[in-house]
Amino acid sequence: MRKAGILLPVTALPSKYGIGCFSKAAYDFTDRLAEAGQSYWQVLPLGHAGYGDSPYQSFSSFAGNPYMVSLEELTDEGLLSKEECESADCGKDEEYIDYEKIYNSRYPLLKKAYERSNILSDSGYRQFERENSGWLEDYALFMAVKEHFNQKPFYEWDDDIRRKTPDAVKTYKEMLSSETGFWKFVQYKFSYQYGKLKEYAKKNGIGIIGDIPIYTAADSADVWANPELFQLDEDGRPEYVAGCPPDGFSAEGQLWGNPLYKWERHKEDGFSWWTERLRHSFDMYDILRIDHFRGFDEYYSIKYGSKNAVKGEWKKGPGIELFNEAERKHGKKEVIAEDLGYITDSVRKLVSDTGYCGMKVLEFAFDSRDTGAANDYLPHNYVKDCVVYTGTHDNQTLVSWFEEIAPDEKNAVRDYLCDYYTPDEKMYMPIICLAMQSPAKLCIIPMQDWLGLDDRARINVPSTIGKNWCWRLKEEDFSPNTAKEINRITKRYSR
C-alpha cells in the first residue's frame, strides 16, 4: 500500500522551554499528521547527543536524549514547579535552539526532579532497570565518571577507570552512586514518556520511523565498555576512523572521526552487540532507517589524526551475515537502508538480499556533477520497494536548492515536470507532487519543504559544526489549513 509521512526531528517541535520534547506539542503534531492524511512521522536519532549536539554522535547507542524529557510532565508529577521551569533561561528564540543555554538550564532542573522523585519506590523503574541492565549500568557509570572528570573524553580519564578494571568500577560506583542514579532516572523518564507518545501515535494511525547511525561516537559508553569491538590503540583512542572519500561535492571528502568496528570480532560472537542494538531499535520504532548502509558492504578507513579524508581505503564489511543473524534472532523487520552516495553493484546486491527498502532523493536526480548516478534518482526508474524523499536532514530545503542549482539543472527539472510557468520560489510544490506521484511505496517529505522554507530552516550541513540541529517549527506553522492542503495532495496520489 502506498503511504506518506513527514520528516521532523523531535527537537524541532515547538516548546516554551527552548527545545522540542515529548510534551503536548508532540501530541499536537501527531494529531496534525493524522489530519494531513499521513501514515508516518520520521524522526532523527533519539540518542543522547554528544559532540556538536549531533544526534549522529551519541554518548550511547541505547540511551535516549535527556533534552526530550518533558518538563511539563515532570511538573504534572509534582517533581518540578512551573515557576522553576519558567525562571530557567532556555533561550527566547522560538525558531532556534540555543544548546549552551539548554545545557546550563535543563540538567539542574532534571536533577531537582530526580532528588524529589523517590524513584527507588517506583516498581516501574525497577522493572525498567532490570530489563535494560545490559546497557544502562555502563551508560550511567560512563556519564557519572565523565562528569567527575569535568567532561573529558574517557581516553583521558585515570588509567584504571579508563580501562574499566573491576576494582575501579566498584570504587566509582560506590563513590558516584547518586550520580549514576540520576542518569538511570532520566532514562526511565525518557522511556516512559516516549512509550506513551508512541502508543498515542499508533492509536491515531501514525507509525514512527526511527533512525540509527551506523557508527558510534569515539567518546561513548559503547566504546568504553566494549573496546574489543573497535579498532582502538592501547589507550582507547581510534586507530582508524570513518568518513567518505572525495567526490563531486567535496574535494577533501568527509572526515567523521568515528572509530571503526573490528568486524571479525563481532562475527566471532554472532554479532551479539549489533543484534542487541537492532532489537532495541526495533522495539522503539515501527520502521527503522539505518544510516550509511553501504558501510556494511564496504567501509572507508582513514588513519586517525588525518586532516581530511583524501587518504583512505575501502575495507570489506560484514555483509549479509549480520542481517541474516538479526533476522534469525528477531524475525523480519521493516528497514530503510540509507544507500545514498556512490553505490556499487555489491551494495545494490546487499540491499536486495536483505529485502530492505533503499532510498531515493529528488535533489540528486538533476545534479549535472554526477550524471552517472542521477538516473537512479529519476522517478521513472524507481522500483516500487523504495522510499522517496525530496531531501533529507543533510540536504538543502527545496526552496534554497532550486534557487541555487545551475541554470541547466533548473531547465532539466522543468523539462522533466513539463512545467515552464511556476515561479522559481514556488517550484517546491511541483517537486513535492513529483515525489508523491512516484512509484515508491513510501514518500517522506521534510516539514520545511511542505512549508516552503529556505535554508534558514536547514537541519544540517555535513562535516560542519556550530549551526546545525538548531531549527524549530513555530506552533502556528503546521496549521489546520496546511494540514488540509497536505491531505488533499496525499489523497490525490493515493497515499
Catalytic positions are: 291, 338, 394
Chain centroid, CA 21 distance in Å: 14
Determine which helix (DSSP H) or strand (DSSP E) holds 288, and give its type and residue range.
strand 287-290
- C-alpha span between 223 and 236 (Å, rounded): 8
Largest alpha-carbon pair distance within the chain? Answer: 73
Chain centroid, CA 418 distance in Å: 36
The DSSP bridge partners found for residue 6 are 41, 445
Spatial neighbors of 143 by CB under 8 A, at least 6 apart, are: 59, 179, 180, 183, 221
Spatial neighbors of 146 by CB under 8 A, at least 6 apart, are: 59, 152, 154
Alpha helix segments (H runs only) across 355-474: 371-374, 398-404, 407-417, 428-437, 447-450
Spatial neighbors of 305 by CB under 8 A, at least 6 apart, are: none
- C-alpha span between 362 and 381 (Å, rounded): 12
The DSSP bridge partners found for residue 325 are none
Pairing between β-strand 312-316 and β-strand 298-303 as defined by DSSP bridges: antiparallel
All cell numbers assigned to 450: 511542505
Q: Phi and psi at residue 313, in whole multiples of 5°?
A: -145, 150
End-to-end Cα distance, the chain: 8
Give DSSP secondary structure letters for 160-173: HHHTT-HHHHHHHH
Taking the alpha carbons of 45, 47, 53, 59 in that order, is the dihedral positive or negative?
negative
Other C-beta atoms lying within 10 Å of the C-beta of residue 385: 15
The SS3 assignment for 343 reads coil
Other C-beta atoms lying within 10 Å of the C-beta of residue 247: 14
The DSSP bridge partners found for residue 243 are 255
Please return the burial class of 200, using the count of CB atoms within 10 Å of its CB with bins 0-12, 13-18 and 19+: middle
The position carrying cell 526531528 is: 9
